[in-house]
Structure 1
Amino acid sequence: MRKNIVAGNWKMHKNQHETVALLQEIIAQKKTSTTEIIVAPTFVNLAKAVEITNGSEINVAAQNTHQAEGGAFTGEISAGMLTDIGVTTVILGHSERRAYFHETDALIANKVDTALKHNMRVIFCFGEELKDRQINNHFNVVEYQLRDGLFHLEKADWRNIVLAYEPVWAIGTGETASPDQAQEMHKFIRELVEKVYGFDIANELSILYGGSVKPDNAKEIFSKPDVDGGLIGGAALNANDFLAIVQGFEQ
Structure 2
Amino acid sequence: MWVMKKPKPLVIGNWKMNPASIGKARKLFLDIRDLYGHRKNSIQAVVAPPFPFISEIERLSPSQRIGLAAQDVFFESTGAYTGEVSLSMLRSVGVNYVIVGHSERRARGETDDDIYKDVQIVLKNKTTAVVCVGEQVRDNQGNYFGVVEAQIRAALRDVKKTQLQYVVLAYEPIWAIGTGKTATPEDVREMRLFIEKLLTDRFDRSSAKRIRILYGGSVKKSNTENLLQTGEVDGFLVGGASLRPTEFVSILNTVVEHVKKYKST
**Deviation (angstroms), 1:94:** 0.1
TM-score with structure 1 setting the length: 0.95
Matched, 1:19 2:25: yes
Alignment partners' CA distance in 1, 2:218 and 2:67: 22
Identity of aligned residues (%): 39
Kindly indicate whether the alpha-carbon contact (under 8 Å) linking 1:27 and 1:56 is maintained by their aligned counterparts in 2.
no
Q: 1:122-137 maps to which residues of 2 (within 5 A)?
A: 122-130=129-137, 133-137=139-143
* Other-structure match for 1:242: 248
The residue number in structure 1 matching 2:67 is: 59
Task: Between 170-179 and 19-28, report the one with greater CA deviation.
Answer: 19-28
Which of 180, 191, 205 is matched with 2:186 structurally? 180
1:9 aligns with 2:21: no
8 A contact 2:185–2:231 mirrored in 1: no
Corresponding residue SS for 1:77: coil
Compute the displacement of 1:187 (Å). 1.1
Q: Which residue of 1 aligns with 2:90?
A: 82
CA contact (8 A) 2:186 2:231 kept: no
What displacement does 1:63 show?
A: 0.2
2:121 matches 1:114: yes
Please name the residue that 2:49 is paired with: 41
* Aligned amino acid, residue 24 of structure 2: E
Question: Aligned pair in 2 of structure 1 residues 225, 182: CA closer, same or farther (>3 Å)?
Answer: closer
Instruction: Letter of the 1:194 partner, please give it.
Output: T
Shift in alpha-carbon separation, 1:73–1:241, aligned structure 2, 3 A:
same
2:198 aligned residue (192, 197, 201) = 192
Deviations 1:179-218 (A, max 9, x none): 1101110111011101111122111111000000111111
With over 3 angstroms needed to count, the CA separation of the structure-2 counterparts of 1:70 and 1:134, relative to structure 1, is farther
Q: Where do residues 159-170 of structure 1 align in structure 2 (5 Å cutoff)? A: 159-170=165-176
Deviation at 1:168, TM superposition (A): 0.4
Structure 1: 5+ residue runs without aligned partners?
none
Render the CA deviation track for 1:229-249: whole Å, top value 9, x for unaligned.
100000000110001111222
For residues 4 and 64 of structure 1, what CA distance do their matches in structure 2 show?
A: 22
**Does structure 1 retain, via aligned residues, the 8 Å contact 2:15–2:243?**
yes
How big is the shift at 1:133?
Answer: 3.1
Q: Indicate the SS of the match to 2:139.
A: helix
Describe the SS at the equivalent of 1:39.
strand
Partner Cα distance (2:140, 2:59) in 1: 45
Q: Is this contact kept in 1: 2:58–2:64, CA < 8 A?
A: no
Distance 1:51 1:224 in 2: 38
The size of the alignment, in residue pairs, is: 249
- Give per-residue Cα distances to partners, 1:158-185, cap 9 Å, x unaligned: 1101110000000001110001101110
